[in-house]
Amino acid sequence: MAIVDVSSRTVSELLSLRGRVAVVTGGARGIGFAIASRLAEVGAHVAIADLDKVAAAQAAARISGSHGHPCIGVEVDVANARSVSALVDRVVEELGGLRIWVNNAGTYPITPLLELTEEEWDRVIDVNLKGTFLGAREAAKRMIVAGTPGVIINIASTAGYKVHAFGCAHYASSKNGVRALTKALAAELGPFGIRALAIAPMTTDTPGIQEVRKSPALKDVMKHADARPKPLGRDAMPDDIARVALFCASDLSLIMTGGTLLAEGGELAVM
């Protein structure tokens, strides 16, 4: 399925997601909530998928109230294939289709290598990498059956390029895997009109990062990470990443697939 030529469309038309159905995993707070909000702002009908069922419902109500589009909250464990499949079933049934899937859910524990257990390693890989695979696979199946073009957006990290701090061997490995998986998705799904893109954010001021910073045991680790040069002068905010995701989801990026967009404020330029 060749992508359409959208050269004659206006920028506002290219940016519009009116009527398209989007799923954002880990969408109840932080980057996920910001992405869901931006997609809804330009017309998408959004499903907030999160391990926290109550938070997902509350986030969905906030977005629906702000933008007036259908928005639902759904409980999901992204590392569980049945849970992800059930999520897709519900989204298709209640919202009527699926065009955009954002694999945002992730975990970011910090544990020195010599203290890292197999159980913690497996959990990080299961959520960050396997969860991305499961979400992409199930979303692609439904898009292909429906015969509709779509886009899968994976949230990677600058840790997939450079390890900025000790204690993130499992996290960095998972995010390197997300970058490679994105390329594989692009190659295999492109003939069906499905694009795959990844976004690699810098440290982003989310509730999760704020919780890490409050931990006395992790104070020195975060101090080292925060000392990295920031050419643009600050960490990212969730909406900084959400705007990149909106570009990826829209037809403005229609010719793009397989790549990882850096949303890192120039950190990697001075690494």
Put the strands of the sheet holding 100-103 in their side by side order. 71-75, 45-50, 21-25, 100-103, 150-155, 194-201, 260-263
Q: Which of 124, 171, 179, 200 is the catalytic position?
A: 171
What the block records as the tokens of 217 is 């045991």
171 catalytic residue (yes or no): yes
What the block records as the tokens of 216 is 């006395």
For residues 205 and 31, what is the distance between their CA atoms, to the nearest angstrom? 9
211: CB partners within 8 A, 6+ apart: none
CA angle 92, 97, 100 (to 5 degrees): 110
SS3 71: strand
Residues annotated as catalytic are: 171
